[in-house]
Amino acid sequence: MLPVPNTARRSMRAPAGAYAPLPLSGSVMGVLRQRTRLTNLAVSLLFAILCLSLLTNVQYALAPHIQPSPIDLARKEWDEVVAPEQLDSGRPPSVEATINRDRRMASVNHLVVVPGHAVWTGHDATEAHHDDQWVLETMQRGGSVNTYIQHIETAAEMLVKDPHTLLVFSGGATRPRLTSPLSEGASYHRLAAARNLLPTSPDSSSVLPPSMRATTEEYALDSYENLVFSMARFREVTGRWPDKVTVVGYGMKKSRFEQLHRGAIRFPAARFTYIGIDDEGDTTEHYAGELKHGYAPFLFSPSGCRPPLSFKRADRNPFSRYPPYHASTPELAQLLEWCPPLTPVGDITVPTTLREDESGRGDAMAPPAGFVVFEGSLPWDGLVTFDRERD
């Protein structure tokens, strides 16, 4: 038999670079590590890492980012200066460290609010009945200042009689004609003090004198803010929230406060009182104007954040002042930023009159059907539960 030629032997060899047959046994790693299978392993690992990284980035992009607040970052610096409950309150510890409330403030639970309407610029309280002692709009001339004084006097009488009352004169620096930002609230307080309506001596050592239970709220730009900001101011001064609220103002605005403002923030009707004092004489046109220009706009925009109410606020803030209540009352943060859309015309019924004897409504404090109210958590929610349990 002739020998096989060398060329035939060479042709029987495996071609260069060809893979060897896969073994029928052995570890998977052993298989993957064979020659270029090591490259396949590396590619698979890189692809897996890429997918994991992509997934992580997508999750980070979609997740809400909660950055630590300056208050959280400052906790270590202030933990030896202010009490733990002050650190946990969510209020700036740099401000909390400056608050030193009288212990007798703990018994104050009744908020009395006087919404401001103008700025008294006089110096002689006996001359306060004259228009030229005030910064007034044209429609306020001819006797309205006497009504403002009655509001102040009525509220001051309540303050003196009830040692559990905090009186808040509310109203911002709304008058652009003034050269300095003198607020309505501060001018009312100044007038009350000048007329000796805020005694500095208490009836006993166990209660605070009226002068220490009268304060100002100087940022409100309309009636809704008069109420909400005064609630916040009560918390600033007393360290607690009011159990009951009384507003002393125009009688024609009673429905606006009782039904709309009180209703919007869900303060219990049983704990809310409105004392109305109108100008002397025929007020028929006043009530008609209130219904059209006051009540109706708030009926469709409960928080006043939509036109035309939002335009009025902008006009009434000529000194570009920022209220402090987001920081001092974080419990009200959502309410302070609440801005529901305008209620469509037809979804709610506008009353034809605001006079109680003509309205024919059984529950005068209840908001009209379809009126939008704030649905978030509020500090006085517990008062509603307490009233129901008591009843």
Distance CA 296, CA 298 (A): 5
Do residues 246 and 111 lie in contact, with contact meaning Cβ atoms separated by under 8 Å? yes
Q: Identify the helix (H) or strand (E) that includes residue 111.
A: strand 110-115
pLDDT of residue 82: 79
Give the Å distances, CA to CA, from 314 to 114, 163, 220, 305. Answer: 22, 37, 12, 10
Q: What is the rounded distance in angstroms from the CA atom of residue 291 to the CA atom of residue 247?
A: 19
Domain residue ranges in the chain: 106-390
In contact, 266 and 373? CB cutoff 8 Å:
yes
Task: Give the chain's radius of gyration (CA, Å).
Answer: 35
Query: Tens place of pLDDT for every residue, the chain, 391 residues?
Result: 455 555 544 445 545 544 455 454 556 566 555 555 556 777 778 888 888 888 887 777 776 666 666 666 666 778 777 788 888 888 888 888 898 999 999 999 999 999 999 999 999 999 999 999 999 999 899 889 999 999 999 999 999 999 999 999 999 999 998 878 999 999 999 999 999 999 998 777 778 999 999 999 999 999 999 999 999 999 999 999 999 999 999 999 999 999 999 999 999 999 999 999 999 999 999 999 999 999 999 999 999 999 999 999 999 999 999 999 999 999 999 999 999 999 998 899 888 888 775 554 556 789 999 999 999 999 999 886 555 444 4
* Burial profile 324-358: b = 16 or more Cβ within 10 angstroms, e = fewer: bbeebbbbbeebbebebeebeeeebeebeebeeee
Amino acid at 328: S
Amino acid code (one letter) for 151: H
Please calculate the CA angle 129-132-138 and round it to the nearest 5 degrees: 100
Residue 317 contacts residue 176 (beta carbons within 8 Å): no
Supply the angle between the helices 144-161 and 184-194 in degrees, to the nearest 10: 70
CATH class belonging to 106-390? alpha beta
pLDDT of residue 87: 80
d(CA 259, CA 246): 14
Residue 203 is predicted with a pLDDT of: 74
Q: Is 112 helix (H, G, I), strand (E, B) or coil?
A: strand
Question: Residue 299: what are its φ and ψ, rounded to 5°?
Answer: -65, -40
Taking the C-alpha atoms of residue 215 and residue 150, their distance in angstroms, rounded to an integer, is 18
Collapsed DSSP state (helix, strand, coil) of residue 45: helix
Q: How far apart, in whole angstroms, are the C-alpha atoms of residue 391 and residue 389? A: 5
How far is residue 123's CA from residue 138's CA, in Å, rounded to a whole number?
22
Res 252: pLDDT: 96
Residue type at 126? T
pLDDT of res. 75: 66
What pLDDT was estimated at residue 350? Answer: 87
Question: What's at 121, amino acid-wise?
Answer: T
The DSSP H or E segment spanning 93 is helix 93-96
The predicted pLDDT at position 389 comes to 43
**Measured on CA atoms in the order 140, 141, 147, 151, is the torsion positive or negative?**
positive
Report the candidate in 315, 166, 277, 173 with the shortest Cα–Cα distance to residue 230: 166
- pLDDT of 143 reads 87
Give the pLDDT confidence score for residue 341 in this predicted structure.
Answer: 96
